Structure 1
């Protein structure tokens, strides 16, 4: 197990560390354009490639249902913790909606694409890896760029006086990753030239290092411990509470072996890097999202051996 942990941790630590070291030598606009490039090009291509490989047999439908349930569970846990937090600290700051939206995103969305699909293959057999792929695609389509966009758009527009339901719908319909999934799904029966297919698969391994580098850049910009303290709540919900509840639930459903391990690992992924992209796109609290990423990543690295031992 130690060898698999080292193999899984190495890419994450290397590329993230490289981003931390590179930040002082890069133009100040580099992280902005890298984030926009991932949002508009990199991630949609990754989802397009994954959608072309996805088949919805009976177990795929079960994985899809479990993933949607876990997203709603994360949103519910985040909302409940937010109510408790507001009672403990009743003074509402002017930026409270942005803070609230960021907390909900961090509690709900995990880094299933950049981290999950890079790490889970080390612990799950190739025949059962489809559970992780379906979880990742479903979270990106229904969660990150569906429910996540609605949450980010709603809370991001709270203080502007332009918060209308049709604006949330407009934001949702303009998400490039949804179009990437739709095109990938509709072209599954079309055979592309081998060079195109290989380029699509290779693009995934370009997007992942790019995301890790950007995460390292953003983590290096965190200032002060206060934001790290606030990040403990969504990080614990995302990496400990949610996979624990999901693991109990799917065990009671009779799911065992690598499928169960794949779903538990994916549900316990650290807070999504895409949450930082959404925070920047919709003017939420990016500092809380970045802090949640680093705290949840540390917790996730600790929890992997725990899930491997239990499941």
Structure 2
């Protein structure tokens, strides 16, 4: 297992470190440019490639149902946590506010995204095949595709659009418009329509190879944003959504799937995917809608560390 994690996280460490170093020498506007490029070009290419290599004849209903349930559960946990957080923060208590800082609108949006969206494509699909068999990997792929479309660029984009705009004039149709015009949605539709069409080998190979560039770019973006984090406050605020995402949510998914009769590798695959660290796509949404970027980046770091500790626990509890 140690060797598996080493191979999975070597690119993360290398590219994130490169982003940390490059930030000091490159224009300050580059992180936003990179984030927008990933949003409009990189992520749609990744989804298109993922859809084209997914076998849609298997596990049509199971994984999407669990994914939607996990997204709703993650949102509910984050929303309830924010409600409790607000009640605990007393304006007259400066000592308490040091440990529980006030959360503005953009930070609340980032908090929910960090606790709800997991890195199922970049990290999940790199780890799952080493821990479960081929059939269970199919479930993991379906989970990833469902979250990318209906989670990250469905509910996630809706929430990012809502929290990233001023309350005044924030009409419901603006969020609907943003969801319907997201490039990743149309990439998914294109992938489904062309799924049975055989492309020239050079085009297909180039499409699949582009995924590696998207992953590298996302890691570099995270490193650049980590270089901008100011002090302890961002990590302090990120601890709670990271715990919700990597400890609480997958444990609940494991319990629910067990009660529903799922066991062995299929159950482990669902627990693994629901317990992936905070998604890099959340950082891309934060770039696009001006949410709290530092909180997303900090949650990625904290949740990644927690995931490394939790994977052996998941294998023991839910892998049999």
Bin the TM-score by the shorter chain: over 0.9
The Cα of 1:264 is off from its aligned counterpart by 0.9
Q: Is the 8 A contact 1:114 1:212 kept in 2?
A: no
**What's the CA shift for 1:197?**
1.1
What aligned pairs does 1:143-222 form with structure 2 within 5 A after superposition?
Answer: 143-159=151-167, 161-222=168-229
Among 246, 255, 259, the residue aligned to 1:239 = 246
Aligned partners of 1:132, 1:206: CA distance in 2, in Å?
Answer: 22
Deviation of residue 245 (structure 1)?
A: 0.3
Question: For residues 42-79 of structure 1, what are the alpha-carbon distances to aligned partners after superposition, in whole Å with 9 as ceiling and x for unaligned?
Answer: 11011011112233345231011000100000001011
Give the unaligned 5+ runs of structure 1: none
8 Å contact from structure 1 (residues 109, 144) kept in 2: yes
1:254 Cα offset (Å): 2.0
Aligned partner of 1:225 in structure 2 is 232
Query: Partners of 1:61 and 1:184 in 2: how far apart?
Result: 19
Q: Could you list the runs of 4 or more consecutive aligned residues of structure 1 that deviate by over 6 angstroms after TM superposition?
A: 92-95
TM-score (norm 2): 0.91
| 1:158 shift after superposition | 3.5
TM-score normalized with structure 1 length = 0.94
Cα pair 1:101 1:156 within 8 Å, conserved: yes
Counterparts of 1:17 and 1:137, CA distance in 2: 28
Change (3 A) 1:17 1:120: farther
Taking a change above 3 Å as real, the CA distance of residues 94 and 303 of structure 1, as seen in their structure-2 partners, is closer
More displaced, 82-91 or 174-183? Answer: 82-91
Shift of 1:134: 0.8
User: What is the alpha-carbon distance in structure 1 between the residues aligned to residue 133 and residue 12 of structure 2?
Assistant: 21
Does residue 133 of structure 2 align to residue 125 of structure 1?
A: yes
SS at match of 2:290: coil
Q: Secondary structure at the match of 1:239?
A: helix
RMSD: 1.8
CA displacement, residues 12-46 of structure 1 (integer Å, 9 cap, x when unaligned): 22222222222223232222221111111111011
Of 58-67 and 162-171, deviating more is 58-67
Contact preservation (8 Å) 1:43, 1:207: yes
Q: How do 1:241-256 residues align onto structure 2 when only pairs under 5 Å count?
A: 241-256=248-263
Partner Cα distance (1:95, 1:9) in 2: 32
| Change in 2 beyond 3 A, CA 1:153/1:45 | same
Q: In 2, are the aligned partners of 1:8 and 1:122 still within 8 Å (CA)? A: no
Question: Which of the residues 290, 293, 299 maps onto 2:306?
Answer: 299
Check conservation: 2:35, 2:288, Cα contact below 8 A: no
Between the aligned partners of 1:5 and 1:294, the Cα distance in structure 2 is 15
Matches within 5 A, 1:1-311: 1-57=1-57, 59-91=59-91, 96-159=104-167, 161-310=168-317, 311=319
CA distance in 1, matches of 2:18, 2:310: 24
Work out whether residues 239 and 296 of structure 1, in 8 Å CA contact, stay in contact via their aligned partners in 2.
yes
CA contact (8 A) 2:86 2:102 kept: no
Rounded Cα–Cα distance in structure 1 between residues aligned with 2:254 and 2:139: 14
Deviations 1:115-149 (A, max 9, x none): 22222222222343111111111001000100011
Counterpart contact for 1:7–1:122, Cα < 8 Å: no
Aligned residues: 310
